[in-house]
């Protein structure tokens, strides 16, 4: 199901929509996205959907650039994404990230805080695990030898892989069993907004009496 399909379903279920309606597809999508985040946050905070393919989106072959450890309050070399990541939804416990891997998906990278990483480095027994952390929108890999990663997460906005592709033709990542609840919540919000709109101005003097 594409974003366009879901928007069409919302329009069909509301009688007040017409060709001249003030609500754009972008406005409807933003409302859908907001309501979807609320429903997904509730489910994921309950430890549901952690492995669902209908929630998480892939963002692959992200190149990492060398960065000074000082950016993470460390005194070792690290790497980070060249650009900030697309916004990732957050829950009670952490970001909604299903996993971070090397580009062949053969090795997983593990989330950590800087404090935990420093404490781990002090241990006599070392592991071969590679850790990452997110700061100011950038993903930092605390290993200078990792040059690129794949990340699977619940991104708030679709990831545009081709500038010529329409956002609305991308897949709408959302669990089927929650779709009716999403449409209902979106409809209620749009109806309430519609009722708040001012009446159109009339130039007819009789209407002013």
Compute the Cα dihedral for 124, 129, 132, 133 and give only its sign: negative
Q: Tell me the pTM.
A: 0.75
pLDDT on residue 166: 77
pLDDT on residue 209: 42
pLDDT tens for each residue of 119-152: 887 776 677 889 999 999 999 999 999 999 999 9
For tokens 């420093």, what's the residue? 118
Residues 161, 38 contacting (CB under 8 angstroms): no
The DSSP element (H or E) to which 111 belongs, if any, is strand 108-111
* Residue 182 per-residue DSSP state: H
pLDDT tens for each residue of 10-46: 988 876 666 546 678 889 999 999 999 899 888 888 8
């Amino acid at each position: 199901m594409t974003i366009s399909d879901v928007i069409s379903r919302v329009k069909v279920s509301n009688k007040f929509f017409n060709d001249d309606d003030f609500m754009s597809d972008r406005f409807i999508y933003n409302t859908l996205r907001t309501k979807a985040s609320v429903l997904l946050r509730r489910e994921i905070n309950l430890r549901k959907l952690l492995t669902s393919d209908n929630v998480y989106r892939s963002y692959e072959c992200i190149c990492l650039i060398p960065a000074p450890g000082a950016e993470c309050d460390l005194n070792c070399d690290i790497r980070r994404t060249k650009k900030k990541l697309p916004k990732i939804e957050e829950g009670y416990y952490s970001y909604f990230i299903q996993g971070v891997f090397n580009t062949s998906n053969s090795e997983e990278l593990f989330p950590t805080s800087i404090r935990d990483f420093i404490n781990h480095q002090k241990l006599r027994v070392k592991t071969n695990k590679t850790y990452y952390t997110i700061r100011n929108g950038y993903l930092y890999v605390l290993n200078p030898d990792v040059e690129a990663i794949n990340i699977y997460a619940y991104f708030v906005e679709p990831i545009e892989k081709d500038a010529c592709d329409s956002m609305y033709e991308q897949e709408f990542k959302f669990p089927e069993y929650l779709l009716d609840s999403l449409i209902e919540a979106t409809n209620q919000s749009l109806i309430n907004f519609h009722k708040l709109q001012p009446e159109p101005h009339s130039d007819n003097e009789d209407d002013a009496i």
